[in-house]
Structures are given as C-alpha cells and as structure tokens.
C-alpha cells in the first residue's frame, strides 16, 4: 500500500515563502494519516515577520482607504477563485464534509465583503467659525492574529480583512491542528498585497506566547479557549496591547410552552450539531417547558436518526469527525462522567468503524447543573436537555456560569420570547434562531466569553485607535 503524499508548505514572511529547521505534522482526523508538514516558526523568524510587518505599516497606513478597499476586494475574489483548493484542504485537516468546507469559504467571503463595504469616515463633533473638532479612526500598527481550528479560513478572514482594511499589517498564526488552508490563504494574499502587509506563520503554543508578549505587536485578535485568552490578556499588559478575545461559550436555549415541536426541531438540532458541535456559539444547553418536553425530545431524536456521520470526503455525509485527539478524549470523558452520575442517554448515533475521531451524536437527559456537560463548554456533538416549569427558573439556569457568548428563546409569541431573550446575560440574544450573524451585526460575548466584538462597523473599529483632531479657527 502506498503512503499518502505529504504536502510540504511554507510560511509567508515579507512576501516570500519561508521554511524552518523543524516542522509540525498535520493529520486527517477522519483517518489519522499525516498528509502535510508545516514549519515550526522560530523566535527569530517571528521577530523577522514582525519587523517586516512594521516596516510595511509605514507605507500601508498611508495608502488611501479606497485603494486599500480595492485590494481587499481583489483578495476576496482571489479566495473565491481558489474555493476548490481551500475546501479540499479544510476537509483534510479539519474533517468537516466537503460541502460544509465550501460553505465555510462562502461565509468567509460574505462576511469579508460586509467589512469591505464599511467606511470609517471622520465624525464631526463641532464645526463653528471658531473651531472644528472631529473623531478620526487611525490604524494601530502590527496586528497579531491567532485563530482556532474549528473554522480555519473563516476565522483567518475575519481578522485579516478588517485589519488591513483599517490600515494595519498582520502577522497571523493558525492553530497547529489546522494550519494548512491558512498557509494557502497567506500565499493568495501575497498575490494582492504589498510584501509584509499579510504574513502567516505556523507553530505551536510557544509561538502564540511569543506573539502576545512581543513589544512591536500593537494588538492581538484571538479566537480560542478561555484559559488561553486569560494568559494572553496578562501577557499583553507589557505594552498595553489592544485585545479582541472571542473565548467560546456555553450557550443556552429556552424553549417556551407555545412552540410547535415538529416545526422547530430541525433548527434546534442544527443549532447544536452543526460542524459536529464544534461551534463557539452553538446551543449547548437546552431548557424545555415540561408541557412540551417529551414532544421536543421525540422530534429531536427523529432528526438525529436521519443524520449520517463519516469522512468528509464521502458523499451524503452530514457530520465529520472531531478535529483532534485531545478534544475527542475530553468530550468522551465528559459524557462518560455524566452517565456515571445519573444522566440518561436519550439518543446515541452509530459511528463509522476505524481509526477516525468519530463521536456519536449524543442527546442527554436527567442532567444536573453540577455535571461538566452542563456547566462547561462541550465542544462536540453532545446536547443536554432539561425540563422546567417556571420561566424565571429557566432564565436563572440559562444565565448561570462563566460564559456569556449567546443565548436564545424559542416561542410562537414573538413579543413574549423577545422580552425574555432581552434578559439573557449574553452578547448575542436570539429569538427562534441560534446562532444568527450577519456582516453588519456585531458578534461578541460578555463575562468569560471575551472582550470586544467582530463584524460590522464596531468590529472594524476594533482595529483602530481614536484620534480627536481639534482645530482652532479664530479667536
């Protein structure tokens, strides 16, 4: 049997491909086979990347906004043209089905076009014969971007596009679990932007730590875990870096007593199980009014029974594997602990045989607030469902815990559901949908779910500082 071809990929620093003395193996989670090797960036190479980004910033920040916008749009179209290549790489390294990988790229393009449509014009505060005062938005400098492994291209585009559009330069580090498509994205960027504007480096946890403490990086834009986000925040204090931290969530959904269970079951199901449950803003805890509890559970099981799990390259597959072994083991342990403590398995799907990191779709009932599947973020295909009798109790349960990324309320009476959703302690509060995002709608969390927002005008402003230009015209 022939060994699979191993793809060697370079980093991109100052417009040039760069290798490194050591490399990192990248495996396909559906098979366990290594299919690529990427450079393990050294401290010196990171310093080089930051230095060239800093030099490029001196000129890039002076490029007129419309010219930067034109290059950003050209980059977006280059990504569109490369969809087939990028989608194949996403499926191989992340595991999601190929149509879902193509959808990820489509979403990245959609949101990026939204960013590119925003203009940060000066805001005039005072304009009199004696004085003119206005607020201007200025670029920060070198942005260090660190992305997660669940949506490698989407998250990279969410950071590259607003950063360079605002006049910054970028040094981007993808997750060591999914660096391949992002390195390809870096290659495409070199075709559009001047050397040093977009730099992509690959490496492990040490590289991320070096970035967060680097004195010449002026902002860190990070998507990942809460513990890592807290370490970044502490490290960034050295030079008062700006921060955008999207740190995950343990989103709750409250299902009211006036719903039609059959009508909402598919939406409820995919609110949790999209991308194999590996979504920061997935609906991870569900609180259902007791009067419709059994019907909602039955309808969710019906949907789950139609879903096919398998390698992302196979036709007809809806859900792929968990992306990495550590996450596979963690989710498996959380379910085992819950069942040992009394949780009931309402549904557990079959999974393909073999070495792939396939976890079953699992729906749990009879859970308690002390179980990790309830109080911690379950980043995998596991949903816990709890009945309630009183809306206020459901709201208290939904607002418990350290996270506050998103939450939702489901009901036929829109006004009633909206009033309850407005009381959710979350950055995103949705009614009859979960999650729901748009290029003009800011996305971010409260409490342990992070700092700052992405998307829309507010997301673009995160990559700028405020300058007040105050002109005296006459005595």
What phi and psi, each to the nearest 5 degrees, are found at residue 240? 50, 50
My answer on whether 381 and 411 are in the same domain is yes
- CA dist 443 and 334 (Å) reads 28
Provide the residue-wise pLDDT of the chain in tens; the chain has 475 residues: 344 567 779 999 999 999 999 999 999 999 999 999 999 999 999 999 999 999 999 999 999 999 999 999 999 999 999 999 999 999 999 999 999 999 999 999 999 999 999 999 999 999 999 999 999 999 999 999 999 999 999 999 999 999 999 999 999 999 999 999 999 999 999 999 999 999 999 999 899 999 999 999 999 999 999 999 999 999 999 889 999 999 999 999 999 999 999 999 999 999 999 999 999 999 999 999 999 999 999 999 999 999 999 999 999 999 999 999 999 999 999 999 999 999 999 999 999 998 999 999 999 999 999 999 999 999 999 999 999 999 999 999 999 999 999 999 999 999 999 999 999 999 999 999 999 999 999 999 999 999 999 999 999 999 999 999 999 998 6
Q: In the structure encoding, which two tokens stand for residue 415, read together? A: 């006004």
- 475 in a structural domain: no
Q: Which of 93, 246, 299, 454 is catalytic?
A: 246
Which residues, 6+ apart, have CB-to-CB distance to 293 below 8 Å?
385, 387
My answer on whether 239 and 286 are in the same domain is no
My answer on whether 179 and 223 are in the same domain is yes
pLDDT at position 4 is 54
My answer on whether 367 and 460 are in the same domain is no
The residue ranges of DSSP E strands in 241-324, in sequence order, are 242-246, 251-255, 283-289
- CA dist 201 and 38 (Å) reads 9
- 39 in a structural domain: yes
Q: Do 427 and 406 form a contact (C-beta atoms < 8 A)?
A: yes
Q: In the structure encoding, which two tokens stand for residue 104, read together? A: 């990820």
Q: What angle (nearest 5°) sits at the alpha carbon of residue 117, between those of residues 113 and 123?
A: 150
Q: How many domains does the chain have?
A: 2
- CA dist 256 and 413 (Å) reads 9
pLDDT at position 267 is 98
The residues pairing with 382 across neighbouring beta strands, listed in sequence order, are 362
* Closest of 325, 349, 345, 320 to residue 335, by C-alpha: 345
- 169 in a structural domain: yes
pLDDT at position 282 is 97
pLDDT digits (tens, 9 = 90+) for 37-83: 999 999 999 999 999 999 999 999 999 999 999 999 999 999 999 99
My answer on whether 373 and 395 are in the same domain is yes
pLDDT at position 2 is 47
My answer on whether 30 and 141 are in the same domain is yes
Distances, alpha carbon 28 to alpha carbons 236, 331, 356, 360, in Å: 34, 19, 8, 18
My answer on whether 19 and 165 are in the same domain is yes
- 454 in a structural domain: yes
pLDDT at position 474 is 80
- 62 in a structural domain: yes
Other CB atoms within 10 A of residue 216 CB: 15
Q: Do 45 and 18 form a contact (C-beta atoms < 8 A)?
A: yes
Q: Domain of 298: which CATH number?
A: 3.40.309.10
- 2 in a structural domain: no
My answer on whether 105 and 241 are in the same domain is yes
pLDDT at position 3 is 47
DSSP labels, 22-72: SEEEEE-TTT--EEEEEE---HHHHHHHHHHHHHHHHHHTTS-HHHHHHHH
Going by the DSSP 8-state scheme, the letter that residue 448 receives in this structure is T
pTM of the model: 0.95
Q: Is 280 annotated in the active site?
A: yes
The whole domain housing 353 covers: 251-438
My answer on whether 153 and 220 are in the same domain is yes
My answer on whether 243 and 261 are in the same domain is no
Strand 23-27 to 428-431 pairing = unpaired
Q: Do 217 and 143 form a contact (C-beta atoms < 8 A)?
A: yes
Q: Domain of 228: which CATH number?
A: 3.40.605.10
My answer on whether 140 and 70 are in the same domain is yes
Which residues, 6+ apart, have CB-to-CB distance to 53 below 8 Å?
142, 169, 170, 171, 196, 197, 199
- 444 in a structural domain: no
My answer on whether 81 and 152 are in the same domain is yes
Q: Do 30 and 196 form a contact (C-beta atoms < 8 A)?
A: no
Q: What angle (nearest 5°) sits at the alpha carbon of residue 180, between those of residues 275 and 38?
A: 140
Q: Which of 276, 280, 299, 462 is catalytic?
A: 280
Entry field: residues in the chain: 475
- 473 in a structural domain: no
- Rounded (10°) angle between helices 152-165 and 65-81: 160
- What's the half-sphere exposure (Cβ side, CA atoms, 13 Å) at 325? 7
pLDDT at position 6 is 75
* Closest of 128, 194, 191, 185 to residue 160, by C-alpha: 185
Q: Is 246 annotated in the active site?
A: yes
């Amino acid at each position: 049997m022939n060994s699979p071809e191993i793809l060697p990929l370079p980093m991109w620093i100052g417009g040039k491909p760069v290798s490194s003395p050591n490399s990192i193996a990248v495996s396909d989670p559906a098979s366990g086979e290594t299919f690529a090797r990427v450079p393990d960036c050294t401290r010196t190479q990171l310093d080089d990347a930051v230095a060239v980004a800093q030099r490029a910033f001196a000129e890039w920040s002076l490029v007129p906004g419309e010219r930067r916008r034109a290059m950003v749009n050209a980059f977006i179209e280059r990504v569109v043209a490369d969809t087939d290549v990028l989608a194949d790489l996403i499926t191989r390294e992340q595991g999601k089905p190929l149509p879902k990988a193509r959808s990820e790229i489509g979403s990245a393009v959609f949101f990026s076009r939204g960013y590119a449509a925003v203009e940060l014009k000066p805001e005039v505060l005072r304009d009199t014969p004696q004085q003119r005062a206005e607020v201007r938005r200025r670029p920060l400098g070198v942005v260090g971007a660190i992305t997660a492994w669940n949506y490698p291209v989407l998250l990279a585009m969410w950071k590259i596009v607003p950063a360079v559009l605002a006049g910054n330069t970028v040094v981007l580090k993808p997750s060591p679990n999914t660096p391949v498509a992002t390195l390809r994205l870096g290659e495409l960027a070199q075709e559009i932007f001047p050397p040093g504007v977009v730099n992509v480096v690959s490496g492990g946890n040490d590289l991320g730590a070096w970035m967060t403490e680097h004195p010449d990086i002026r902002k860190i834009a990070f998507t990942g875990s809460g513990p890592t986000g807290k370490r970044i925040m502490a490290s960034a204090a050295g030079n008062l870096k700006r921060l955008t931290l999207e740190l995950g969530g343990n989103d709750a959904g409250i299902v009211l007593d006036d719903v039609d269970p059959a009508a909402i079951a598919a939406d409820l199901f995919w609110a949790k199980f999209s991308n194999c449950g590996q979504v920061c803003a997935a609906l991870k805890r569900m609180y259902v009014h007791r009067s419709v509890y059994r019907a909602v559970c039955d309808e969710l099981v019906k949907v789950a029974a139609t879903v096919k799990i398998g390698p992302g390259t196979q036709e007809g597959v809806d859900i792929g594997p968990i992306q990495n072994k550590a996450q596979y083991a963690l989710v498996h342990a959380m379910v085992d602990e819950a069942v040992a403590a009394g949780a009931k398995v309402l549904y557990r799907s079959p999974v393909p045989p073999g070495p792939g990191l396939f976890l079953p779709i699992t729906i749990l009932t009879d859970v308690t607030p002390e179980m990790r599947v309830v109080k911690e973020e379950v980043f995998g295909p596991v949903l816990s469902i709890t009945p309630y009798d009183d809306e206020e109790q459901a709201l208290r349960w939904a607002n418990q815990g350290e996270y506050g990324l998103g939450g939702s309320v489901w009901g036929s009476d829109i006004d009633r559901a909206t009033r309850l959703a407005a009381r959710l302690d979350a950055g995103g509060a949705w009614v009859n949908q979960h999650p729901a995002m748009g290029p003009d709608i800011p996305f971010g969390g409260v409490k342990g779910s992070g700092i700052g927002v992405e998307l829309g005008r507010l997301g673009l402003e995160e990559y700028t500082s405020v300058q007040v230009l105050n002109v005296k015209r006459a005595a």
